[in-house]
Amino acid sequence: MIKILNLNEATEHLTALAHWHHRQWSYLTPNESIEQRIKRMQAYLNNDLIPSTFIAEEDELLGSAALVSHDMETMPQLSPWLASVYVSPSHRGKGVGTKLVLHVMTQAKLGSIDKLYLFTPDKKLFYQNLGWRLIGQEQYHGHLVAVMQASLGEINIPDTV
């Protein structure tokens, strides 16, 4: 059974998670080293809602999703953001990403957050299927990304998350 935990409850996964994220998205943060990424992620090891990282586990680390105040320096007016949604390649297509995203959306809603934002270079349809809507597209570090918003009061998040 898949468990969703706050990374601060399973800190042994931080380094592996940082390496996954770095391999996946270093092209969007070209000036950040793996050491800097690990240090930045250590700030998530607290009891605050923002920033926080949630992980999926089932005998091993399956993936992650984070809630951060800002994720695009070009859009500082938008906050907070769903970020770092990642599922291990061997576990993709099994609903892990959906569980993680819905968990973060639920936590945000419980924390009285009305709107969340995200950007994605290639998963727009995935997020649209979860109630997110496209609010724009822009070049970000040389890559076209979709910027999306979820109005949490308008989305029915299943109780099973």
Instruction: Write the DSSP string, 64-91.
Output: EEEEES-S-TT-TTS--EEEEEEE-GGG
Establish if 161 belongs to a structural domain: no
Cα angle 16, 11, 28 (rounded to 5 degrees) comes to 45
Neighbour count for residue 4 (Cβ, 10 Å)? 21
Please state the domain count of the chain: 1
Bridge partner residues of 53 (DSSP):
66
Q: What are phi and psi of 51, to 5 degrees?
A: -85, 150
Establish if 160 belongs to a structural domain: no
Q: Is 51 helix (H, G, I), strand (E, B) or coil?
A: coil
Domain of 108, in residue numbers: 3-154
Q: What is the pLDDT of residues 104-115, one digit of tens each?
A: 999 999 999 999
Q: What is the pLDDT of residues 39-66, one digit of tens each?
A: 989 988 988 999 999 999 998 999 999 9
Q: Where are the alpha helices (DSSP H) in 76-136?
A: 96-110, 124-128
The CATH number linked to 102 is 3.40.630.30
Q: Structure pTM?
A: 0.91
Establish if 43 belongs to a structural domain: yes
